[in-house]
Amino acid sequence: MKLVERALENYIKQNSSDEDTILKELDRETNIYSLQPRMLSGHIQGLILKMIVAMAKPKNILEIGTFTGYSAIAMASALEEGATLHTIDINDEIGDIPKRFFEKSEYGDKIIQHIGSALDVTPTLNEVFDIVFIDGDKREYIEYYDMLFNCGAIKKGSILLADNVLWDGKVIDESPKNLKDTYTQGIIKFNKYVKDDPRVEVVIMPFRDGMSIIRVL
């Protein structure tokens, strides 16, 4: 099955739009300098995020979880004139990679980078976001979600995108190890929490590691 999945992934890449040069370069640098390069969104997910932004035409985007900045640049590339993207990450151990690539890209003037906890930073922005991309600590997904509603950072029609909601298939693995794993349980609880929330409608897209598309009603 893994061979089939890899072959299909290659086929999808070959028949999708090319990856931007700046994103290819960022992908390479992430794989060289990061201890967890799999956290990077990558070519196809980057294109999907870009497409969603291009279709939704948001005035502002919030990203929870910057990592090396790949998804921020992908989304910012589709923003219209005057639109902005705020990206927040509590971890500054990856050094200046995001800042350097934001400035190197054509979209640096649209991206505002914050270092700190999204739970603390977001309420201070005093913004209402059209799109929110949640890709931070999996144990805190429900807290991020509630915080967005509680501080008024989203409104009717806002789109929330939550990454890694299939968690490498562990969401359906009931082995003792996964039942004790706080990251896996965080994702499982989040998925059910959103499904049961009458304020939204949600669909889980089964590409890569899974992404939920959530619309605020």
Q: Specify which residues 160 forms β-bridges with.
A: 132, 214
- pLDDT on residue 198: 99
| Domain CATH code at residue 193 | 3.40.50.150
Least confident of 57-61, 112-116, 179-183, 190-194: 179-183
How many domains does the chain fold into? 1
**Average pLDDT along the chain:** 94
Instruction: Between 3 and 126, name the one with better pLDDT.
Output: 126
Instruction: Between 9 and 110, name the one with better pLDDT.
Output: 110
Q: Locate 135 and state its tokens.
A: 């890709």
pTM score, whole prediction: 0.94
Query: What is the three-class DSSP state of 161?
Result: strand
Q: Are 61 and 84 in contact (CB under 8 A)?
A: yes
Is it the case that residue 3 has pLDDT exceeding 80?
no
Band the pLDDT of 1: cuts 50, 70, 90: very low
Domain containing 23: what range?
A: 2-216
